[in-house]
Amino acid sequence: MMRETSTLPGEEQRSNGAGQHVDRRLLIDGQLLTTARTFPSLNPATGQVLGYAPDATVAEAQAAVAAARRAFDTTDWATNVELRIRCLDQLHRALVEHRDELADLTVAEVGATPALCAGAQLDQPIAIVRYYADLLRRYPMTEDLGNAEIRGMQHHRWVEKEAAGVVAAIIAYNYPNQLALAKLGPALAAGCTVVLKGAPDTPLVTLALGELIAEHTDIPAGVVNVLSGADPDVGAALTTSPDVDMVTFTGSTQTGRRIMAAASETLKKVFLELGGKSAAIVLDDADFTMAALFTAFSMVTHAGQGCALTSRLLVPRTHHDEIVVLVKNNFGLVKYGDPTDPQTYMGPLISEKQRDKVHGMVQRAVAAGATLVTGGQKVDPGFFYQPTLLTGVDPDSEIAQEEVFGPVLAVIAYDDDDDAVRIANNSIYGLSGAVFGSEERAIAVARRIRTGTFSINGGNYFSPDVPFGGYKQSGIGREMGVAGLEEFLESKTFARVLTEVPA
């Protein structure tokens, strides 16, 4: 069967020896490899094939795990701090030097805008690697607990931090550079070895990270392995392998539940960063203009494909109509379309499947009694969806309870602060949230919301040094910051009898 192939900017296609072409390669045990099968990656702004990625099989996943196991068990990677610092420095330098190439690929494959690449899509993820290289230089791997007299003898106690072992890291499509480097950076700093599996919708950008590691760092063979594949059995092989000590996953809560269940068979350590249905609360003493601007443009960031976005807008019943008009007007200012255009604020959804899901949820919300104020339409070509505002939303309805992952904002009216807190906490999720109002009152409300992160009057918490994660079914553990490093460490307690009693 003949097919058309495409070449990425600045890249020559590579043959896998079987007459097929791939645009990126797997990294397994220090070798850049292709596979017998490939699968296409689409440009979501056009719907056209961008390139082809190797379609890894379970056998390749098992080879990657074996390589990571061997590297952890037989090399000094886990104990050689100076080597790890040097390799993280090299990785950071390679990312900086190839930043523009990665940005072009991220725009083309992810549908991100250049402005997003200057932030959470690329430049902030690159800064994560710098952060962990620097943190490793000063992080204490040993804690002295001093002496204790037990049964007439002096005992000296201390705690040492050790790498958790072999890590399977599985990421989502929406911010692939962020998700990959927020796992790779601390895992490598801790001394772990890693098998990283990219999302099937955005394989090329993750494979590009693997190529940089192979070609521009001294990271030993097997320490980092990077896979792409469309077969869900590949991910299952990683989560169930007895040679994997820890699983870190970012994606849907539904998939997170399955991963947790699979990992329980071997009692693996599990870190999960899952879904969200975060609420933004506008108090009656807030600056409504600022709150409406923030919530509108935040909700359509990356076409709403962000787990921490505030997709529920809670407004005082007495000011409902006033705030809705402000949000609607702001949605009308959002320029969406070709993400390569510097004037574009919102790009496409990742796929036709995701767009159909979003559209279906909007249609069901309207059928259930919500009012469509603006938006609610697909835009072709590509996988675009209009910024969409719904009012009259029942707090218990699907659109208020389930993650949409699209540019859809549901407005819910409340009566007083207690009612707002109750509605905000009425969710299986607890990832993020926001509040607008006088500072003391806003902070008091924020402290009552059960989420892992919170923005007060537009405050931005997202940074390499700040822990990120959620309560309830939004996940387990924290990514980034010192807490992010410690997710990949184990603590070992030591004690020895002192033969000479201190004076």
Structure-block tokens of residue 91: 């990785």
- Which pLDDT belongs to residue 22? 85
For the entire predicted model, the pTM comes to 0.95
Considering the segment(s) 279-463 as one domain, its CATH architecture is 3-Layer(aba) Sandwich (3.40)
- Which pLDDT belongs to residue 146? 97
- Which pLDDT belongs to residue 500? 75
Query: Annotated catalytic residue: which of 60, 109, 273, 487?
Result: 273
Instruction: Say which amino acid occupies 406.
Output: G
CA nearest neighbour of 186 among 492, 489, 468: 489
Beta bridge partners of 191: none
Structure-block tokens of residue 417: 């602060």
Q: Which residues does 338 contact at the CB level (< 8 Å), separation at least 6?
A: 45, 344
Q: Which residue has the tokens 């700040």?
A: 466
Q: Which residue has the tokens 């379609």?
A: 55
Listed by start position, the domains of the chain span 26-274, 279-463
Contact in structure between 300 and 334 (CB atoms under 8 Å): yes
What distance in Å separates the CA atoms of residue 299 and residue 476, rounded to the nearest whole number? 24
Q: In angstroms, what CA-CA distances link 464 with 119, 218, 454, 501?
A: 12, 24, 16, 45
What distance in Å separates the CA atoms of residue 263 and residue 397, rounded to the nearest whole number? 32
Active site residue 101: no
- Which pLDDT belongs to residue 16? 47
- Judge whether 26-274 and 279-463 match in fold: no
Return per-residue pLDDT of the chain as tens, 503 residues: 222 333 333 344 455 434 457 899 999 999 999 999 999 999 999 999 999 999 999 999 999 999 999 999 999 999 999 999 999 999 999 999 999 999 999 999 999 999 999 999 999 999 999 999 999 999 999 999 999 999 999 999 999 999 999 999 999 999 999 999 999 999 999 999 999 999 999 999 999 999 999 999 999 999 999 999 999 999 999 999 999 999 999 999 999 999 999 999 999 999 999 999 999 999 999 999 999 999 999 999 999 999 999 999 999 999 999 999 999 999 999 999 999 999 999 999 999 999 999 999 999 999 999 999 999 999 999 999 999 999 999 999 999 999 999 999 999 999 999 999 999 999 999 999 999 999 999 999 999 999 999 999 999 999 999 999 999 999 999 999 999 999 999 999 999 999 876 56
Q: Which residues does 390 contact at the CB level (< 8 Å), separation at least 6?
A: 362, 365, 366, 370, 371, 372, 373, 399, 408, 409, 410, 411
Question: What are the φ and ψ backbone dihedral angles of 359, each rounded to 5 degrees?
Answer: -65, -40
What's the CATH code, domain 26-274?
3.40.605.10
What distance in Å separates the CA atoms of residue 430 and residue 417, rounded to the nearest whole number? 18
Q: In three state form, how does the secondary structure of 330-350 look? A: HHHHCCECCCCCCCCCECCCC
Burial of 492 (0-12, 13-18, 19+ CB in 10 A): exposed
